[in-house]
């Protein structure tokens, strides 16, 4: 059973790496609040020019406050504790159903070769991350 969980975790890492999915676990609201708050304060003090200056300073402050909080989803998956890994495994297995595989390479081949299955597993993965980890998911361009 442990090997099957590891296979599913590797599959999830591969899917999220291929689609360049990132997530932030917390803090993006702080950055937005800093940018908006300083733009507002700048507007009160300096009018339109103050909004521009306050927004720029607030944006830099927001960037500093949230730096390091956005992580690639494969990294987040590898850092899950055993309970979280088990829950993600169950969510993905609900999609995989009774599909059997002998190793991770075979599992990846089965999933990557089936666009519908690939999409369903990706949706289950994103659903898990947003619901269970309460993270915000973004895609890199």
pLDDT tens for the chain, 141 residues: list them: 688 999 999 999 999 888 877 776 655 555 666 667 766 777 778 787 877 777 777 777 766 665 555 678 888 899 899 999 999 999 999 999 999 999 999 999 999 999 999 999 999 999 998 898 887 777 765
Looking at beta carbons, which pairs linking 42-48 to residues 24 or more positions away fall under 8 Å? Answer: none
Q: Can you give the pLDDT at residue 40? A: 75
Provide the H-helix boundaries in the chain. Answer: 2-18, 28-66, 73-78, 82-96, 104-112, 115-131
Q: Can you give the pLDDT at residue 19? A: 80
Q: Can you give the pLDDT at residue 82? A: 92
Q: Can you give the pLDDT at residue 46? A: 78
- Tokens 């790496």 locate to 17
Vertex 98 angle, CA 77 and 129, to 5°:
20
Residue 93 CB neighbours (<10 A): 15
Q: Can you give the pLDDT at residue 104? A: 92
pLDDT in tens, 81-117: 999 999 999 999 999 999 999 999 999 999 999 999 9
Distance CA 97, CA 39 (A): 51
Instruction: Give the strands of the sheet with 21-24, arranged side by side.
Output: 70-72, 21-24, 136-139
């Amino acid at each position: 059973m442990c090997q099957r969980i590891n296979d599913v975790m590797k599959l999830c890492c591969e899917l999220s790496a291929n689609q360049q999915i990132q997530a932030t676990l917390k803090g993006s609201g702080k950055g937005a609040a800093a940018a908006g708050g300083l733009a507002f304060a700048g507007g009160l003090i300096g009018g339109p020019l103050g909004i521009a200056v306050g927004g720029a300073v607030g944006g830099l402050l927001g960037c500093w406050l949230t730096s390091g909080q956005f992580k690639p989803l494969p990294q987040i998956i590898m850092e899950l504790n055993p309970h979280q890994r088990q829950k993600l495994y169950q969510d993905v297995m609900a999609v995989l159903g009774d599909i059997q595989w002998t190793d991770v390479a075979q599992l990846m081949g089965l999933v990557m070769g089936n666009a519908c299955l690939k999409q369903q597993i990706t949706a289950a993965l994103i659903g898990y991350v947003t619901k269970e980890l309460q993270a915000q998911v973004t895609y890199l361009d």
